[in-house]
Amino acid sequence: MADPASPICCPTVAAIRAVAAPWREAGERLALVPTMGALHEGHLSLVRQARAQADRVVVSIFVNPAQFAPNEDFSSYPRQLQRDLDLLETVGVDAVFTPDAAVMYPAGFATTISLQGPAAAGLEDASRPIFFNGVATVVAKLLIQVAPDLAIFGEKDFQQLAVIKQLVLDLDLPVLVQGGPTMREADGLAMSSRNVYLSETERALAHLLFTSMQKIKAGMAGAGTVASLIEAAVAELEQAGFRIDYLVLRDAVTLGQWQGQSAGRLLVAAWLGKTRLIDNLAIDGRGLPGHSKE
Ligand code: PAF
């Protein structure tokens, strides 16, 4: 195995394929962790999850312009390649794939992937209509370029994970897609590269997204209906200064309406000032009679 302290940097498709070819020939299991950089403990936990299951781990770092709408934060998205590489050295990565936009979308690039199913669940897609087409296109390219046996994505972007699982299934891509648990700050805020946008005051409030979902979950074990619990949580969050895009309980697999007895997922997206935060929480449907519908 290569020295885990010094990942090989591959800026082109030819370079990452040349690096991975001997691993594949030797029958080694390869895992990919796709990222947009600005790495934090959440990403590093995905790398550790990959490391535990594969002989070789590749991390890709690419801020994908195709998944940002013109009014979104593509130009201000944090970019800190050297810091990311230093962090990756600490967790044992074999190679870092660092294509730029010209490598991923050369002049004349004309193909994108069009989606339905979990990508049309009325959640992220409702306020970010181009997002999943951009994600699916770049993820399909990354999976074809690196050809991993296993690819790991954070559960914080829960709808994205569902979209990628559907993509891989529908296109018969020979890779196992796995989710990695959301890493949280001490107060419960889900780790995100975008948390750096929060002011000090906003940062102090941001954990309320998670605590309000926990409250709904706890309330479901009691007498409250899901609808009334969500209504109360929305009112509380708005009172604290959030602007809610959605706070819903959905089926954890289809992202369609939750039927009460299946695994559910609370999903939230909300603005705090100029920062849009998302989070989600697993709900076990069993043993909650009376909670049949959203
Ligand atoms: O979740 C992300 O960081 C990105 O959406 C991904 C999956 C790397 C695609 O650009």
Pull the structure tokens for residue 112: 């994108």
Closest atom of ligand 1 to 154 CA is 1
pLDDT in tens, the chain (294 residues): 444 557 999 999 999 999 999 999 999 999 999 999 999 999 999 999 999 999 999 999 999 999 999 999 999 999 999 999 999 999 999 999 999 999 999 999 999 999 999 999 999 999 999 999 999 999 999 999 999 999 999 999 999 999 999 999 999 999 999 999 999 999 999 999 999 999 999 999 999 999 999 999 999 988 889 999 999 999 999 999 999 999 999 999 999 999 888 899 999 999 999 999 999 999 987 545 444 444
45 Cβ closer than 6 Å to some ligand 1 atom: no
139 Cβ closer than 6 Å to some ligand 1 atom: yes
Closest atom of ligand 1 to 62 CA is 10
Specify the amino acid at residue 251: D
Pull the structure tokens for residue 20: 């991975």
Ligand 1 center–CA 35 separation, angstroms: 5
39 Cβ closer than 6 Å to some ligand 1 atom: no
- The pLDDT of residue 4: 52
Pull the structure tokens for residue 250: 């959905």
The 10 Å CB-count burial string (b at 16+, else e) for 219-257 is bbeeebebeebbeebbeebeeeebebbbbbbbbbeebee
Nearest Cα residue to atom 9 of ligand 1: 135
Nearest Cα residue to atom 3 of ligand 1: 35
Q: What values do phi and psi take at 206, rounded to 5?
A: -60, -30
135 Cβ closer than 6 Å to some ligand 1 atom: yes
Ligand 1 center–CA 61 separation, angstroms: 9
The CATH superfamily holding the domain 193-287 is: Pantoate-beta-alanine ligase, C-terminal domain (3.30.1300.10)
- The pLDDT of residue 142: 98
Pull the structure tokens for residue 277: 């935060």
pTM of the model: 0.95
87 Cβ closer than 6 Å to some ligand 1 atom: no
Task: For domain 8-180, give its CATH number from 3.40.50.720, 3.30.160.270, 3.40.50.620, 3.30.1320.10.
Answer: 3.40.50.620
Point out which residues pair with 184 in neighbouring strands.
190
Instruction: Answer positive or negative: Cα dihedral of 203, 209, 211, 212.
Output: positive
Annotated catalytic residue 43: yes
- The pLDDT of residue 290: 46
Ligand 1 center–CA 123 separation, angstroms: 17
64 Cβ closer than 6 Å to some ligand 1 atom: yes
Closest atom of ligand 1 to 36 CA is 3
Domain boundaries, the chain: 8-180, 193-287
Asked whether the domain spanning 193-287 has the same topology as the one spanning 8-180, the reply is no
- Cα–Cα distance, 250 to 196 (Å, whole number): 29
Nearest Cα residue to atom 6 of ligand 1: 35
34 Cβ closer than 6 Å to some ligand 1 atom: yes
- Cα–Cα distance, 274 to 291 (Å, whole number): 35
